[in-house]
Structure 1
Amino acid sequence: MQQNLNYVYPQVFWVDGCTSASASSPSAPPVTPFPPPVPDRRTKPGHNRERRSVGFLVIFMLILLALTGVGLSMFQIFHLEKELAELREVRSAWPEQSMEKEARKAAHLTGNPTQRDLPLEWEPISGHAFTDGIQYHEQGLVVNETGLYFVYSNVLFRGSICSSQMLTHIVYKKNPTLPGSHVLMEDKGINYCTGQKTWARKSYLGALFKLRKMDSLHVNVSKIALVNFEESKTFFGLFKL
């Protein structure tokens, strides 16, 4: 027996890159098309280089900022150390200045209306009166340290009858080691009224003197009854330069 060896081969066509069986072979199974290729999602080499460049730039900027901050901090520290040294120098001079202020002597006395005799008596404590490093003793100011002093005295004379008598205002000093007294300043007033029933005349004395230790200063007037003893009108004082 002879077998029929004549086979029919199906025709194959290429369509869009895919194979398909010919219609002449209906018995052949359909061919499934290949899926499209999946795109490569990995970053391209050029993009990687750009990212690395940006990263290096950011790191460089951060390092530059850090170095700048360190430099500014060192500059500020140096500046602060300089200012601190200057403040220490100034503060080291404070005790000397304080000692100078403490060593300064001064006194201001105001009129005392209860007095009855010369030289003039004064109020050393109440009101504007004070003594600082100067002693008020026996109606005068006693100097306990040799030096230059500015001495001043103001007296207001006032009366209700105009007379021709002379008004005298004197500041003098005494020292227990020297005899007598020595006039430092003097003011004499004449023709201070012209027939009015009431009158007033101010006499001010002030000058710089070199005084010795234990010198005592006093104020004398020609007539106590004509002196106005208000503290703003009649006063006496000194201070050491």
Structure 2
Amino acid sequence: MQAYKSRAGSSPRAQSGTTLPDFGCQMENHAKHVQPMPLSATQQNLNYVYPQIFWVDGCANTSSSCPSAPPIAPFLPPVPDRRKKTRNNRERRSTGFLVMSLLILLALTGVGLSMFQIFHLEKELAELKESASTEHIPPALEKLIGQKEEAMKKEPRKAAHLTGNPAQQDLPLEWEPISGHAFTSGIQYRDQGLVINETGLYFVYSNVLFRGSVCSNQVLTHIVYKKNPSLPGSHVLMEDKSINYCTSQKIWAHKSYLGALFKLRNMDSLHVNVSKIALVNFEESNTFFGLFKL
């Protein structure tokens, strides 16, 4: 039996002087072929040397038995491919981005549906309020309200605005009831005053402009009063007295305004009085008198 040795210097046992064990089988005119198994590029680059491994063909003679082959050193584990890891990371990132996009889309859809539902509920609530407001009004009350509205449309609001009249003869002051800005609506102008024909709350106002060319510092009085045929005398509603309104001998002017809310009765008449007619400026924008019902 012929023993096959490794190349010189390639086997650790050969270098140490140790005799390799014999293996193989007797062959009849057939040489055994020993093929060294090539190493991978990774194994060749290693700093340390692994023993070479040989692969021996089987016995040519099938009748003879072959001794068991010596143990073969285990192969190194394959080096993991890093490209697969990079591909897996990209796939995971794309999957995570897709999941996040779907979640955001679902959230936006939910918000849109909620807003639409809220808008729909508000619309229904407004319709219910409108229907309830019309259903709970009794027919008699609705008819009365309609009649009152029609009466208010037909009947003008009670009001009057009078402007100054230069053709003054005596007190109380006389007024212009028609021309310019002057008018009367539901109120009668009679005997230099405004006559009330319906009891109620009225806002009464009066404005008088005093002016002069010489400063005498006499007291300027502006009064609004009322009279009633059923009551004796007159009753002062508003009064204004002015002193020290000028300081030199030049031309001067002084305005006096009165205005307040009063409860007036039917047949009450309102008038305006001043301390001296000659000092009153009767232009319609400076001296006027009026009232309106609330």
Q: Structure 1 length normalisation: TM-score? A: 0.61
Equivalent-residue separation in structure 2 for 1:197 and 1:157 (angstroms): 14
Cα distance in 2 for residues equivalent to 1:98 and 1:221: 42
State how far apart, in whole Å, the 1-side matches of 2:292 and 2:199 are: 12
Correspondence 1:100-179 to 2 at 5 A: 100=152, 102=155, 104-179=157-232
Counterparts of 2:214 and 2:249 in 1: how far apart (Å)? 7
Amino acid in structure 2 at the alignment position of 1:142: V
Counterpart Cα distance in 2 of 1:97 and 1:103: 12
Gaps of 5+ in 1: 1-78
Deviation sequence 1:8-63 (CA, Å, 0-9, x none) = xxxxxxxxxxxxxxxxxxxxxxxxxxxxxxxxxxxxxxxxxxxxxxxxxxxxxxxx
1:99 CA displacement: 2.4
Other structure's SS at 1:97 match = helix
Q: Which is bigger in relative contact order (C-alpha 8 A, separation at least 6)?
A: 1
Q: Residues of 1 paired with 2:219 and 2:232: CA distance?
A: 28
In the TM superposition, what is the alpha-carbon distance from 1:104 to its structure 2 partner?
A: 2.4
The one of 241, 252, 272 aligned to 1:219: 272
**Equivalent residue, structure 1, for 2:253:** 200
Computed over aligned residues only, the root mean square deviation of the Cα atoms, in angstroms, reads 2.7
- Please name the residue that 1:71 is paired with: none
Q: Higher strand share goes to which structure?
A: 1
How far has the Cα of 1:100 moved from its partner? 2.9
Q: 1:76-102, CA deviations, whole angstroms, 9 ceiling, x for partnerless residues? A: xxx9xx89x97xx9x975653342352
Q: Which amino acid aligns with 1:215?
A: D
- Point out 4+ residue stretches in structure 1 off by more than 3 angstroms: 91-95
Post-superposition Cα deviations, 1:138-181, rounded to whole Å, max 9, x if no partner, equal: 00000000000000000000000000210000000000000000
Quick one: which amino acid aligns to residue 105 of structure 1? Answer: K
Identity of aligned residues (%): 79
| In structure 1, C-alpha distance between the alignment counterparts of 2:194 and 2:283, rounded to whole Å | 20
Larger CA Rg, structure 1 vs 2? 2
Structure 2 residue runs of 5 or longer lacking an equivalent are 1-126
What is the deviation of 1:197?
A: 1.3
Residue 231 of structure 1 corresponds to which residue in structure 2? 284
1:187 corresponds to which of 240, 243, 258: 240
- Distance in 1 (CA, whole Å) between partners of 2:147 and 2:251 is 55
- Counterparts of 1:210 and 1:159, CA distance in 2: 36
| 1:209 is aligned to 2:234 | no
Mapped contact 2:214–2:251 kept (Cα < 8 A): yes
Cα offset for 1:196?
Answer: 3.6
SS for the counterpart of 2:231 is: coil
Counterpart of 1:188, as a letter, is K
C-alpha contact 2:206 2:259 (8 A) present in aligned 1: yes
